[in-house]
Structures are given as C-alpha cells and as structure tokens.
C-alpha cells in the first residue's frame, strides 16, 4: 500500500550499534510555534466581549459554577471590610452578584482566537516525495501482511450495529505496525465513521509554563483535548484526531499508534437487509519476521490432506490405505468412506504402506475443524482481556495542569 510509505519511520543500524532514525516524507514538525501566553486571564487570546452573544446564550450554571461565584463573593465580602474611604451602597451586593454571573457565563460561551500557522519560506518547504518504498527496501526478505475479509450483515431482526471499542491492532507477538482498510461494499446502511485518537505524554512542561493556576481552558480549545479534571476526575492523556467516513470505495491507511473505533450504524430501510464489507491489511514490522503459514504446515486434518494430495483429495484420488490411516485420527467423511470400496484396486504396495506407518508421514497432533473453532474462541477471549488491560493503561496516564 503506497500510503504506508508516507508515514512509517524506518530505523537502521548505525555505527557503535546505534539505531539511525530515518523519518518518512512529509512534515516532521508542527506548523505552529509555542504561544507566548496560554492563560485564560489573557484577554488577547479570546474574542472581544459581545453583549448580543451573551444575551442569546442558553448556558445554565452548574453547581461548580455557583460554588465558584460563592468563593469569589467571599473574597469580595472580605474586601468590603477594608476602609477605602468610599461609601458602598447596601444594594450593591446584589448588582455585583448579577455581574459575577454574567462574567462567568461569558467565560463559558466565548470563543478562543485560534493561532495562525507560521509562515513558510522556500528553504523550509516540506518534501512529500517518498525516496524509497518499503517494498523496494525489503524486496530481499519480503513483507508479511495479515489479510482479513469481513462482512457486517444487518437484518430487520438485527437492524443495528453498536459502537466499537477503542483499540490498536494485534498484540506484541503479532508486531503490526500499520493498517489499511478498503471498504468494498455498502448497501442499505447509514453512514459510519472511523474515529482516531492517540496517547500523549503527561509531561507538558512547556505548556504549563505559559498558563496560570487552573487557567488552561484556552489551551483545551486550541488543542482539542481535556487537560484538567472534569467532574472530579483527572483527564487522561488522550488526543482526539477526528473521524473519517467509511464510505464505499474508500481506502484508509494509518500507523498502528492510533487508537481507533467504528461509530454505530443501522439499516436505512428497516424492512430490508443490508451490509457493509471491507478488507483489512495489517503490515507486520518488516524488521521482525513472525511465525506464519509460510513456515507452519496445515494443522487441520482436512487442510493437511488437501495440501499433500491436492484439492481433490476428498473425491477418491487419495489412496484408500492412507484414507483408512487418516480414520485413525478422525472420522472420515461419508464420501471418503464410500470411495474406499470404489478404489479397492488402487492399493499401495505393502512396503510403501509400512514406510508410511513407520516414518509417520501423517503427522501427529492434527486437529479437527471443531477444535480449531475452540482455539479461535480462546484467542478472542485473550484479545478481549488484552484490550481491557490496554484501556486501563491508556486511561491511567493523566494530565496535571491544575498543579504547578
């Protein structure tokens, strides 16, 4: 997939056993410089006060908002006890509280001023041209790609597909480094999207230095993430990256550092069936070879027979002695048993059959289709536990912008 060449970073061995990082083509740094100020108290970061916008706002104060106003009023009342030589009217407290409410609502509904990207000159222009594809680079060893074809079938009895869970592909032993999804066909289903996010570092010293205590709302708007506690719970270090519609004919390719999940969808016409079909390609890290069907022989009885005797092994072309030997390991199919009598004249010499038995031409430990299904069920349980553990790990890393 050519798109993989655009975002995969290659590591090569350099001198003194050090890895040399070769970045992919395209932009390597942010288009935006670090702001000089990021504190909410800096009015230059926000749109000017607009009384019309405030009047049209339907924001309702929360309990935390009222507590904030109450705390501010306590400080104000303490200041009222100081003799400034100015007489304060008795009804001024009510007017001041109304002003405090308006001021807090405006802080909640005002829009931030989004920074402009840095100017780019010709010398710093970004080169998006790929110098060497991974197919060319690893042509001697080849690439390993895991292929999956999937279909999601909806019916009037089951008209909805639920939202997926956040995940990355595979486990450590599978070493998946990139994904490509091609959406083959969609019929009678509502649009669906694939959302992306990524875990970030909890160490954000540069940003914390330009904010005040609990003054990071502007940064949250600009970076599109939560940096402080919400509802008493600290914010996890997770950066949303938006979503893409998974419409028919679209190819999506991305590195396996992105968490992703599919949005829910349903039948457009609930009286008719519908489906969404796609192909998933998972690229294995080209620097690491993993165990695959290239070096593991067929492990199921029927697959082994097809691989050794050909695709027509079940139609009677297999020597009856070998077929009878297979029956020692599993129940033969009815058609195979019938063929034993039909091929009675095609017996192998006794010497060859003795060699088959002594040298264990038919390997031990072959499994049935039912056993293979049980192994798959166990694998899915392992992956579910892995996803739960991963989710706990992702949500356990938190920002601490409220602490300076």
Using one digit for the tens of pLDDT, what is the confidence trace for 177-212?
A: 999 999 999 999 999 999 999 999 888 889 888 988
> Which residue, 35, 45, 46, 394, is CA-closest to 240?
394
pLDDT for residue 363 is more than 80: no
Domain with CATH 2.60.120 in the chain: 136-284
Q: From CA 256, how far away is CA 261, in angstroms rounded?
A: 13
When mean pLDDT is compared over 78-82, 127-131, 346-350, the highest value belongs to: 127-131
Q: If you search the block for the tokens 């601490």, which residue do you land on?
A: 400
Q: What is the mean pLDDT of the chain?
A: 80
φ, ψ for residue 7, nearest 5 deg: -135, -5
Residues 274, 210 contacting (CB under 8 angstroms): no
**pLDDT value, residue 360:** 57
CATH topology of domain 136-284: Jelly Rolls (2.60.120)
pTM for the complete prediction?
0.74
How sure is the predictor about 65, in pLDDT bands with cuts at 50, 70 and 90? Answer: confident
pLDDT for residue 373 is more than 70: yes
């Amino acid at each position: 997939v050519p798109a993989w060449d655009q975002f995969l970073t290659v590591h090569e061995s350099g001198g003194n056993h050090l890895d040399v990082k070769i970045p992919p083509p395209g932009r390597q740094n942010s288009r935006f410089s670090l702001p000089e100020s990021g504190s909410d108290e800096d009015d230059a970061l926000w749109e000017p006060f607009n009384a019309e916008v405030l009047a049209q706002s339907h924001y309702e104060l929360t309990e935390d908002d009222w507590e904030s106003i109450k705390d501010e009023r306590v400080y104000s009342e303490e200041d009222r006890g100081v003799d400034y030589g100015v007489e304060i009217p008795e009804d001024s407290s009510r007017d001041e509280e109304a002003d405090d409410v308006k001021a807090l609502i405006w802080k909640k509904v005002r829009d931030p001023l989004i920074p402009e990207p840095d100017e780019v000159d010709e010398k710093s222009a970004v080169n998006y041209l790929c110098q060497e594809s991974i197919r060319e680079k690893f042509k001697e060893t080849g690439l390993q790609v895991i292929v999956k074809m999937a279909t999601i079938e909806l019916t009037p009895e089951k008209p909805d597909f639920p939202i997926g869970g956040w995940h990355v592909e595979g486990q450590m032993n599978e070493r998946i480094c990139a994904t490509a999804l091609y959406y083959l066909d969609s019929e009678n289903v509502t649009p669906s999207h694939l959302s992306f996010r990524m875990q970030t570092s909890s160490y954000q010293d540069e940003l914390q230095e330009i904010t005040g205590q609990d003054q990071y709302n502007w940064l949250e708007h600009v970076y599109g993430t939560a940096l402080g506690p919400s509802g008493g719970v600290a914010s996890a270090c997770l950066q949303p990256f938006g979503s893409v519609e998974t419409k028919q004919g679209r190819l999506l390719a991305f590195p396996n550092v992105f968490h992703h999940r599919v949005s829910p969808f349903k039948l457009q016409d609930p009286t008719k069936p519908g489906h969404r079909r796609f192909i998933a390609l998972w690229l294995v890290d080209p620097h690491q070879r993993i165990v695959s069907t290239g070096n593991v022989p067929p492990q199921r009885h029927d697959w082994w027979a097809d691989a050794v005797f050909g695709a027509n092994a079940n139609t009677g072309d297999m020597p009856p002695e070998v077929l009878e030997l297979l029956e020692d390991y599993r129940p033969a199919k009815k058609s195979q048993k019938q063929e034993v009598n039909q091929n009675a004249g095609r017996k192998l010499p006794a010497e060859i059959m003795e060699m088959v038995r002594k040298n264990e031409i038919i390997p031990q430990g072959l499994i049935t289709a039912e056993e293979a299904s049980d192994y798959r069920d166990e694998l899915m349980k392992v992956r579910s536990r892995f996803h739960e553990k991963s989710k706990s790990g992702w949500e356990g890393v938190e920002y601490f912008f409220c602490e300076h």
